[in-house]
Amino acid sequence: MEYRGRYKIFDASVIQTYPVAQRDNKVKLADVLRPEEAAEMKIDLAGEVEERIEQLAEEIIACRKNNKPVILFTGAHAIKNGLGWLLRDMVERGFFTLVAGNGATAIHDFELALMGQTSENVPAALEKGQFGMAYEFSYFNKAVAKGNKNKLGLGESLGKMICDKEFRQKVLKKAARKGSPREFTHPEVSLLAGCYEKKIPFTVHVGIGTDVLDQHPSFDGRAKGGCSGRDFLIYTEQITRMTAGGVVLNVGSAVTGPEVLLKAVSMAANVGKVPNGIITADFDLRDYKPGQMKDESQEGYYFRDQKSVVTRIPQAFGGKGFYIQGEQKQRLPRLYQSLMKRKAK
C-alpha cells in the first residue's frame, strides 16, 4: 500500500506466510451441525426463553408471508460454533431476505468452504509470529480487490469466488501459488455460497486492522472499504423496505451488528422510510437488565446490542425487542425447529 505522508509505516511486503494446509485448526467439518440433525435435536429451555423464541418465529413467518424483510446479522462465533450450514438452510427455505456479518464471520465461512476447517489455534501460532499468516488469505484479498474493480459488494465478491468458476480462476491466477488449493472443497457448508446461489445479499461490515486479512501484503484497504461500503448501502436499502414492519436478528455481535443497524434505521427514517413496528431480537449470553439502559453508571448501559437492538430501536419505531439469552448451539436450532413447524402448517 503506497504512502506519501510524513510518518514511517510498516512494510507489509516483508511478511512471511505459510500454506494453510499446515495450520492447526480447532473446528473441523465434523463439528458443523447439519440441518437434519438440528431438526431432531432435543432442546430443553427455560419457559421464558422458549416463549420468546416461539413469538419470534411467529413474527418471522408472518413477515415472510407478507413479503416483509427479515434480516440476520451474525457474529463470527455462530460460524465457528458450526451453525453456518443450518443458517444456510434457513436462507434456502426463504426465512431471511438478507444476511450480514463482520469480517471474521466471512473469514470463518471462507475457510470452511475452502478446506473444511476453521478457527486457528491462536496461542500456538501467536508466539511464533504466525497468527493469521496463512498464505491463502490472499484469495480473500484478491477476490475483494477484483470485486472492488467491478464495483461489487464484499459478500457478493466472496460468494462469486466460491460459486463462479470463471471469477474464481481470475482470482487464483493472481493469488494462487504452487501447492495452493485451486478449488473450494466444501462449498455446501458455506453461508456465503448459499446466499450467492439464492440471490440473497450477504453484506460484510468491516474495519481496517480488525481482521487477519489486513496483515498480508495482498491487503488493499481501498478495496476492502469500497466493497464493504457498498454492502452497508445494500443493508440500508433493506431497512427502507420496513415501513410496514420487518424483523432484524442480531446473533452474537456485541458492537458491529448493533451499530450498523442503528445507522441504517436513522438513514431510512431520514428519507421518510421509517421502519414502523420493527421487530428485533438479540441472541447473547449476558444477563439483560432493562433498568440499566438509561443509567450511564451501570454496565448494562454500555452493552450496545441490548441498548440499541432490544431497547432503543424498537421503542423509537413502535416495535418490539426480544432478548434471547443463552447458548447459540441451542437457541438457533430451537428457532429453526419452531420456524419449520410453522412453515409446515
pLDDT at 334: 98
* Backbone φ, ψ for residue 45 (5° rounding): -120, 155
What pLDDT, in 10s, does the model give residues 172-191? 999 999 888 999 999 999 99
- What pLDDT sits at residue 1? 78
| Residue 280 belongs to some domain of the structure | yes
Residue 344 pLDDT more than 80? no
The answer to whether residue 312 sits within a structural domain is: yes
Closest among 232, 235, 164, 159 to 192, alpha carbons compared:
159
What confidence score (pLDDT) does residue 290 get?
A: 87
From CA 308, how far away is CA 11, in angstroms rounded?
39
How do residues 79-120 score in pLDDT, each as one tens digit?
Answer: 999 999 999 999 999 999 999 999 999 999 999 999 999 999
- Burial class (CB within 10 angstroms; exposed 0-12, middle 13-18, buried 19+) of 258: buried
Is residue 31 assigned to a domain? Answer: no
Contacts of 88 (CB under 8 A, 6+ apart): 189, 190, 191, 193, 194, 195
68/71 Cα distance (integer angstroms): 10
> At residue 228, does pLDDT exceed 80?
yes
Q: How confident is the model at residue 4 (pLDDT cuts 50, 70, 90)?
A: very high
pLDDT for the residue numbered 97: 98
Query: What was the pLDDT predicted at 343?
Result: 85
Range of the domain at 54: 16-26+47-343
CA 65 to CA 306: how far, in whole Å?
A: 28
Predicted pLDDT of residue 152: 98
In a domain, 127, yes or no: yes
Q: How high is the mean pLDDT of the chain?
A: 96
In a domain, 5, yes or no: no
How many structural domains comprise the chain?
1
Q: Indicate whether 38 belongs to any domain.
A: no
Cα(66)–Cα(48) distance, integer angstroms: 27
Q: What are phi and psi of 8, to 5 degrees?
A: -80, 140
- Asked if residue 345 has pLDDT above 70, the reply is no
What pLDDT is recorded for position 179? 86
pTM value is 0.95
Q: Reply yes or no on whether the pLDDT at 121 is more than 70.
A: yes
Task: Output the domain CATH number for residue 126.
Answer: 3.40.50.10690
2 lies in a domain? no
Nearest CA to 200 among 191, 208, 209?
A: 191
In a domain, 4, yes or no: no
Q: What is the mean pLDDT of residues 25-52?
A: 95
Asked if pLDDT for residue 2 goes beyond 90, the answer is no
